[in-house]
Chains A and B, each alone.
Chain A
Amino acid sequence: MKRRVDMRVLLGTYGVVVALVLLVAFGWWRYENFLGMFNVMSVLRYNSMFALVALGMCFVIMTGGIDLSVGSTAALGSVAAALGSHYGIIPGIVGGVGAGLLVGTVNGTLVTRLNIMPFIATLATMLAASGAALLLANNQSVSISYETGFMNLGQGNIWILPIPAVIAALAYVAGSVILNFTSAGRTVLAIGGNEDATNMMGLRTERIKFLTYLASGSLAGLAGVILAAQFGAGQPIEGVGWELFAIAAVVVGGTLLTGGMGSVGTTLAGVLLLGILFNMLNFENGMGWISLSAYWQSVIRGGFLLVVVIIQARLMSKEAKHVTS
């Protein structure tokens, strides 16, 4: 019996990786140039921002929380980074990530000190960050400096790899190591599993939760830095709906929204899966057989999310029955 349960958990967790591999294989079989250097690199370059945001979201969700502020934090980060970029690359990065850290600190304080529900606390900071971005940018997009090399953070390459993708990859490696090999990472999962029990064991739940919001904020800020560098300007009204896209990616990646279970690697797979769906739609249109407008991408993404969550719900309920029987 135990082995069958393990199979289900395995499928629930790594199903997304299998799906990703199948999707890529299908694309490679069907479309010329799908795995061509240019396409692969541009998909990676564009989706690295979402990957960073989803990574932070993944940590917050694993503790049973949620962070709705990531989208406007990224917007605020992009404005701060664009303003900082005129003084050099480092001030640009510091500005963006610093803005993210600030929002993360407020989130962490509201959630862990004032005990406001994460959904409401981060809904409030979402508005506040958006307001701060508008004030800082004076209601318009802020051009970055093209002299300091700041734009390389979004548009440059290391060897053939896009720099934003390298940044995102490094962040995921760090995230995976922290989650699996440090006590803080194990505590994150323990909190999501049972916060009271974790507290009684003497683990510092409040501090770890605070740190997850800090991480989510700073990663969103970093995504903002890349956003500014990639599009040449800080965008105070960008980032609308990013939070829900990130949540969708985390869910598709098999992380439970109730917390206590999750994986960094499959979150990345979730981001890539949702990103590639869009990419494939473009290729399909290019083949000339069908002509689906870009509007179909959200319909397809939504349908995909529906299939995933229904499968997950099925797996979960069967698993629960096994445990009780």
Chain B
Amino acid sequence: MSETLSPASAKTARFFDPLDFLARYGTLVALALLIVFNLIFTRNFATLQTLNVNLTQVCTIVIVAIGMTMVIGTGGIDLSVGSIMAISGALAPLIFLGTIFPVGNIGVSVTLAIAVALLAATLLGLFNGWLVAKMRIQPIIATLVLFIAGRGIAQVLTNGNLQVFRVPEFQWIGLGRPFGIPVQVMIMVVMIVVAAWILRRTVLGRQILATGGNEKAAGLAGIPVDRIKLTVYGISGFCAGVAGLVVIAINSASDANLVGLGMELDAIAAVAVGGTLLVGGKATIIGTLIGALTIQLVRYTLLSNGLPEGAALMVQAAIIAGAVWLQQQGRVR
């Protein structure tokens, strides 16, 4: 479930150690317990609709968190994802609504809109990577630049106006349900599979973790550390771009003030709860998915059982701190 470069201590593996077990699989256990709890106490929980509601709500967080997992795997962090979502979400409607330039065929313009939005998001991610890799600026500060400026850029692009649209060809991303499965959930699953494959089975994946584990050693071993960093920030930008498109497609509207607001922290929380080390060197995409699902299901459970939003936030906080603490206990041993 988790990809580690350094071999885990084989000694403790022989005996059953409850704390170690919890540290490894605590989040999964919590998720299972939550599902059982809901099956018993929450009315109408075991329905396709509940599944769809939860999956559609969590899927943008997961998509962003996939890129975040890779960035954090190199020991970095990306605070700009929410702002990049806003830019991608602002650009696409400008193009397929023909605000910038008129395009005759709706199919062409939607394709163009998606391509341009994703390209812009990827380029912005590469810009982050350039600041981190070439200018040697700390990731928190480097991505803080676009966190602050990015939402402003999106607002300037749209003049702060809400862009409302009815373009079924585009909104299929957010509202389409072939075989009863929401399209955005399919996108999420595909991205998870690809990302997990990259991280586990490809040279790039190994190099990401090596960079995060010990950057100097990785560099001396001939790993192109700078290029790896550039790549992960580019991937993170791309993921944020996809998430931005999904959000506006669901809403049938794009509001540069709101798209992706606070997303960076949601994504980081999912990554951390999922068991990826924030210092880098160990990353798990499946863990991130489980982390995001757990946080989402906790919120859903509390809110659908009548607890106020404030209480749900406090429980969420306790789970984030508790999960990270538990994982640390496993590591100390």
Q: Give the contacting residue for B145; candidates A66, A257, A258, A305; CB below 8 A.
A: A305
Given contacts A125-B317, A296-B156, A305-B145, contact A119 B311 (CB under 8 A): no
Given contacts A110-B321, A128-B317, A244-B148, contact A299 B153 (CB under 8 A): yes
Q: A295 CA to B152 CA in the complex, in Å?
A: 5
Q: A301 CA to B309 CA in the complex, in Å?
A: 33
Convert A97-141 into 0s and 1s, putting 1 for each residue whose CB lies closer than 8 angstroms to a CB of B.
000000000000010001111011101111110111111100100
Question: Which residue from chain B places its CB closest to the CB of A117 in the assembled complex?
Answer: B278
The answer to whether the Cβ of B79 comes within 8 Å of any Cβ in the partner chain is yes
For B272, what are the chain A residues with a Cβ–Cβ distance below 8 Å? 120, 123
For A299, what are the chain B residues with a Cβ–Cβ distance below 8 Å? 149, 152-153, 156
A303 touches B149 (CB 8 A): yes
Which stretch in A21-29, A35-43, A170-178, A306-314 binds the other chain? A306-314
Convert A127-160 into 0s and 1s, putting 1 for each residue whose CB lies closer than 8 angstroms to a CB of B.
1101111111001000000000000000000000
Given contacts A131-B310, A139-B309, contact A121 B321 (CB under 8 A): yes
The A-contacting residues of B in range 176-192, CB under 8 angstroms, are: none
Q: Give the contacting residue for A134; candidates B140, B160, B310, B318; CB below 8 A.
A: B310
B265 touches A126 (CB 8 A): yes
- Give the distance to chain A from B329, nearest Cβ to Cβ, in Å: 10
The answer to whether the Cβ of A302 comes within 8 Å of any Cβ in the partner chain is yes
Q: Give the contacting residue for A135; candidates B155, B265, B311; CB below 8 A.
A: B311
- Give the distance to chain B from A159, nearest Cβ to Cβ, in Å: 36
The answer to whether the Cβ of A297 comes within 8 Å of any Cβ in the partner chain is yes
Q: A121 CA to B138 CA in the complex, in Å?
A: 20
For A119, what are the chain B residues with a Cβ–Cβ distance below 8 Å? 77, 268, 278
Q: A301 CA to B316 CA in the complex, in Å?
A: 32
Q: A317 CA to B137 CA in the complex, in Å?
A: 10
The answer to whether the Cβ of A251 comes within 8 Å of any Cβ in the partner chain is yes
- Give the distance to chain A from B17, nearest Cβ to Cβ, in Å: 19
Q: A121 CA to B269 CA in the complex, in Å?
A: 10
- Give the distance to chain A from B32, nearest Cβ to Cβ, in Å: 22
For B318, what are the chain A residues with a Cβ–Cβ distance below 8 Å? 124, 128
B136 touches A317 (CB 8 A): yes
The answer to whether the Cβ of A293 comes within 8 Å of any Cβ in the partner chain is yes
A134 touches B308 (CB 8 A): yes
A244 touches B147 (CB 8 A): yes
The answer to whether the Cβ of B4 comes within 8 Å of any Cβ in the partner chain is no
A68 touches B265 (CB 8 A): yes
B152 touches A120 (CB 8 A): no
For A117, what are the chain B residues with a Cβ–Cβ distance below 8 Å? 278-279, 324
B320 touches A257 (CB 8 A): no
Q: A158 CA to B272 CA in the complex, in Å?
A: 48
The answer to whether the Cβ of B150 comes within 8 Å of any Cβ in the partner chain is yes
The answer to whether the Cβ of B135 comes within 8 Å of any Cβ in the partner chain is yes
B144 touches A248 (CB 8 A): yes
The answer to whether the Cβ of A261 comes within 8 Å of any Cβ in the partner chain is no
Q: A222 CA to B268 CA in the complex, in Å?
A: 28
- Give the distance to chain B from A308, nearest Cβ to Cβ, in Å: 9
The A-contacting residues of B in range 38-82, CB under 8 angstroms, are: 77, 79
The B-contacting residues of A in range 238-256, CB under 8 angstroms, are: 240, 244-245, 247-248, 251
For B141, what are the chain A residues with a Cβ–Cβ distance below 8 Å? 247, 251, 257, 305, 309
Question: Which residue from chain B places its CB closest to the CB of A312 in the assembled complex?
Answer: B137
Given contacts A119-B278, A121-B321, A131-B317, contact A301 B136 (CB under 8 A): no
14 A-B contact pairs sorted by A residue (CB < 8 Å): A116-B321, A117-B278, A124-B317, A131-B309, A131-B312, A132-B310, A135-B310, A257-B140, A295-B152, A298-B148, A298-B155, A301-B149, A302-B149, A313-B137
Q: Which 8 A-B pairs have the closest CB atoms?
A: A302-B149, A131-B313, A298-B152, A134-B310, A135-B310, A128-B317, A295-B155, A299-B152
